[in-house]
Every structure is written in structure tokens, then in C-alpha cells.
């Protein structure tokens, strides 16, 4: 019911007469992405491999997960196709119906069973593809099936977009909660709390509050200081991992302060940081993380931070999580700039109330996220 044909093996160029579709142009949802195109000016190839409307493209070589992905060519622009693709030209079956079948769970199971695996890639050749068993209903029923699938896929897209929107709202809500927390707007003040100025003077008898335009109208009992007034830093040299031969079965996580955070696990027993909790700070990106488990580090591009007595480290971590400096990534920030930032400090008792309120709110928001 179908004609199968491999694509061109000719090398493509950045310019040319006609676009050449490659496996990267076949999306994981059965469509063709026309960005990042290459081109051909080979007239023989253009004659032999030009696509026609409703041709189905089959990705014969890819990762184990995505080998066999397909998409329908709808004649969006003239194109030929490359050698890692097979053109399927249906003769007695609807292209849309065939594409529906070839994006089904039944079909993905078939791909997994018949693929051959090499280093970092899997392959399904035309001979194996020709043996795929396709259930073929009457032509009109094929159309009804495709129409029904389109309806459900549209509904799924609406739900997915709604989920993405809600995740964005939850992320924004967390940021707003933290902003309210560090400005004294999240929990009520207690006039019986010891003012923060007394706490800061116990840390440093010569302390004087910082003037800062961002915190002109501080809540009662609050004070301002620089981060370096309440935070001590340590270079991580003694905790750098010796070997990058990581294994998930090893007990000790290896950390960076950036987005990757835990980059692996080590079985090294020397140089493990265990004065917890602490904050790790990326000295180049100003990312930070509150850490409550023992660890080693990947490199010296961070600082390990501890707070003075009477300061809750969770409160400082909250301030740092929404306070970034972005600029020259080749510059180390802690000593030169970040430690000089002004932080509003509530009374010690209020710090604890704020932390409790934030974590309770975050737990509810996380529950919503997990249920999506």
C-alpha cells in the first residue's frame, strides 16, 4: 500500500535552489520544522527526491527513543529529503491516517522491537519498515479516525498550554511571596520581638545600619546591613572532587551552584563538606542554593556561605534566591560586589515566622504542581 524510498546522500549547503529536510526537521509530534534548513542545487537530486504533497517522512536513524518518528509533508515549501529519512508515499491509504498509526503506542512498541542498535543510535531500514502491519479501515472511516484524533489532540494542546500557563503563574507566585517576605509584608510584626538592630550589634558592637533607597520604609523592628555583615564565606578548595568518574550508586553528591546543582555522585571519603546547613554561591553567575546534606564540589568557582549567630540561614537564602547580579561572567562577584548588597533584616523571632509562612505556602503550591 506504500512506496518506500531512501533520501539523498549528497552533501548539503547553507544556500541553494531547494531545501533539504533532515531528521532534525522532523519533530517529535509528527510535524515538520522548517527552521535550521540546508539546501541543494543538484538538479538530478531535485528531480529524484522532490517531495509531493502528503508524502510521509520516516526517520530511519536516531536515538532509541525517537527512531521511526514521522511527519507529513504538506507542500509548505519545495523540498527534497536527506538519507537518514525514508519517503513513504501511500498508494491505497490516507497519509493522515498512516501518520496517526505511526504516532501510536502500538507503533512505538514495534519500533522498539525491530530497531537495531549501534553506538549512540538506532536504525530501522526500509526492509523492516515494509513489514510493518497496518490495520486498514475503509477510506471514509480513516477520515473519521483522523478527524477524531485531531479533536482530541487539540484538546490535549489546550490542557497542556493551560498547564504551562499555571506553572508560570505558580513560579511568579513563589517569587512574589519571597519578595513580600524580605520586605516585611508576609507576616505581622510583634512589638514584643527584640529589634533587629540589637541582634546586629551583638554580632558587631560597632555596627551602624546601612542607608538604602530600596528599603526606606522598613517594617517596625527591622534593620538593614550588608550581606558581609551577617555572612561568612569559605573557599571550597578543600572540598573539590579529585575524580569525575561519577556513579549514581555512590553516596556523596558533587555540587555546582548553577542550574545543574547535583552533577554526579562520588565515593571519595576525604574533603566532604558537612557543616550544615550552608549556602553555595556561584561566584560567576551569582546563582545560589541552600544545602542541607553533605557534599563535595566540582570546582573552585563558588563560595560556601555560613550565617552569624542569630541569623536564620533560610531567610538569607530566600533573599539571595531572588537577588541576582548579571554582568561579566568572567568576573568573581562575592567579594567585589555581592557581599556588599544591602539586605533587610527582621527580628530573629520574625525571621522564623517568615520562614514558616513561606514554606507552608510553597508546600501548597508544590502540591498543585505535582497534581498537574
Question: Residue 122 sits in a domain of what CATH number?
Answer: 3.90.220.20
Are 205 and 340 in a shared domain?
yes
Judgement on whether residues 93 and 241 belong to the same structural domain of the protein: no
Number of domains in the chain: 2
One domain, residues 112 and 240:
no
Does residue 149 fall inside a structural domain? Answer: no
Task: For residues 209 and 321, state if they share a domain.
Answer: yes
Residues 323 and 218 in one domain: yes
Let me know if residue 314 belongs to a domain: yes
Domain stop point among 108, 136, 164: 136
Pair 192, 328 in one domain: yes
256 and 131, same structural domain? no
**What is the per-residue pLDDT for 329?**
60
Residue 29 lies in a domain: yes
Q: Dihedral of the CA atoms 264, 265, 266, 267 (nearest 10)?
A: -160
Residue 177 included in any domain = no
**266 and 331 co-located in one domain:** yes
Note whether 131 and 123 are within 8 A (CB): no
Say whether both 201 and 313 belong to one domain: yes
On whether both 328 and 202 belong to a single domain, the answer is yes
pLDDT for 137: 93
Residue that is last in its domain, among 121, 136, 151:
136
CB 265 within 8 A of CB 249: yes
Predicted TM-score (pTM) above 0.75: no
Between CA 42 and CA 52 the distance in angstroms is: 18
The strand pairing partners of 295, in sequence order, are 273
For residues 322 and 199, membership in a common domain is answered with: yes
172 assigned to some structural domain: no
pLDDT of residue 212: 67
> Do residues 58 and 117 lie in contact, with contact meaning Cβ atoms separated by under 8 Å?
no
77 domain residue, yes or no: yes
Residue 371 falls within a domain, yes or no?
A: no
Whether cis (ω within 30° of 0) applies to the bond prior to 200 is no
Range of the domain at 120: 2-136
**Closest CA relative to residue 239, chosen from 281, 270, 261, 280:** 270
Q: Are residues 199 and 337 in the same domain?
A: yes
Has residue 183 been placed in a domain?
no
115 φ/ψ angles, rounded to the nearest 5 degrees: -65, 150
* Per-residue pLDDT, 6: 94
List, run by run, the mean pLDDT of 10-residue segments along the chain (372 residues).
Answer: 88 92 88 91 94 94 89 93 94 90 89 88 92 92 92 81 85 93 93 95 90 77 95 96 94 89 94 97 92 95 95 97 76 90 95 96 89 74
Amino acid at each position: 500500500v506504500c512506496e518506500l524510498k531512501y533520501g539523498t546522500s549528497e552533501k548539503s549547503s547553507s544556500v541553494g535552489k531547494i531545501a533539504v529536510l533532515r531528521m532534525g526537521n522532523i519533530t517529535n509530534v509528527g510535524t515538520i520544522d522548517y527552521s535550521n534548513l540546508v539546501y541543494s542545487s543538484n538538479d538530478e537530486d531535485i528531480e529524484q527526491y522532490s517531495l509531493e504533497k502528503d508524502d510521509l517522512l520516516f526517520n530511519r536513524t536516531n536515538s532509541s527513543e525517537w527512531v521511526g518518528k514521522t511527519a507529513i509533508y504538506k507542500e509548505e515549501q519545495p523540498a527534497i529529503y536527506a538519507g537518514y529519512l525514508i519517503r513513504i508515499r501511500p498508494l491505497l491509504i490516507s497519509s493522515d491516517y498512516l501518520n496517526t498509526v505511526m504516532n501510536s503506542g502500538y507503533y512505538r512498541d514495534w519500533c522498539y522491537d525491530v530497531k537495531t542498535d549501534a553506538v549512540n543510535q538506532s536504525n530501522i531500514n526500509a526492509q523492516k519498515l515494509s513489514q510493518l502491519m497496518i490495520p486498514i479501515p475503509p477510506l471514509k472511516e480513516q477520515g473519521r479516525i483522523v478527524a477524531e484524533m485531531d479533536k482530541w489532540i487539540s484538546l490535549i494542546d489546550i490542557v497542556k498550554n493551560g498547564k504551562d500557563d499555571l506553572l508560570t503563574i505558580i513560579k511568579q507566585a513563589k517569587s512574589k511571596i519571597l519578595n513580600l517576605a524580605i520586605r516585611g509584608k508576609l507576616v505581622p510584626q510583634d512589638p514584643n520581638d527584640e529589634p533587629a538592630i540589637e541582634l546586629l550589634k551583638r554580632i558587631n558592637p560597632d555596627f551602624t545600619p546601612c542607608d538604602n533607597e530600596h528599603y526606606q520604609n522598613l517594617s517596625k523592628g527591622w534593620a538593614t546591613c550588608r550581606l558581609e555583615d551577617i555572612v561568612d564565606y569559605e573557599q571550597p578548595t578543600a572540598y573539590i572532587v579529585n575524580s569525575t568518574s561519577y556513579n549514581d550508586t555512590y553516596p556523596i553528591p558533587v555540587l555546582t551552584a548553577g542550574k545543574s546543582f547535583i552533577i554526579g555522585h562520588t565515593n571519595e571519603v576525604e574533603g566532604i563538606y558537612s557543616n550544615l546547613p550552608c549556602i553555595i554561591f556561584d561566584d560567576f553567575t551569582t546563582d545560589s542554593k541552600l544545602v542541607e546534606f553533605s557534599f563535595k564540589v566540582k570546582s573552585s568557582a563558588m563560595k560556601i556561605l555560613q550565617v552569624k549567630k542569630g541569623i536564620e540561614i533560610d531567610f538569607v537564602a530566600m533573599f539571595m534566591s531572588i537577588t541576582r547580579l548579571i554582568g561579566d561572567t568572567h568576573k568573581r562577584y562575592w567579594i567585589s560586589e555581592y557581599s556588599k548588597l544591602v539586605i533587610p533584616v527582621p527580628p530573629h523571632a520574625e525571621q522564623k515566622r517568615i520562614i514558616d509562612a513561606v514554606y507552608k505556602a510553597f508546600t501548597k503550591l508544590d502540591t498543585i504542581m505535582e497534581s498537574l
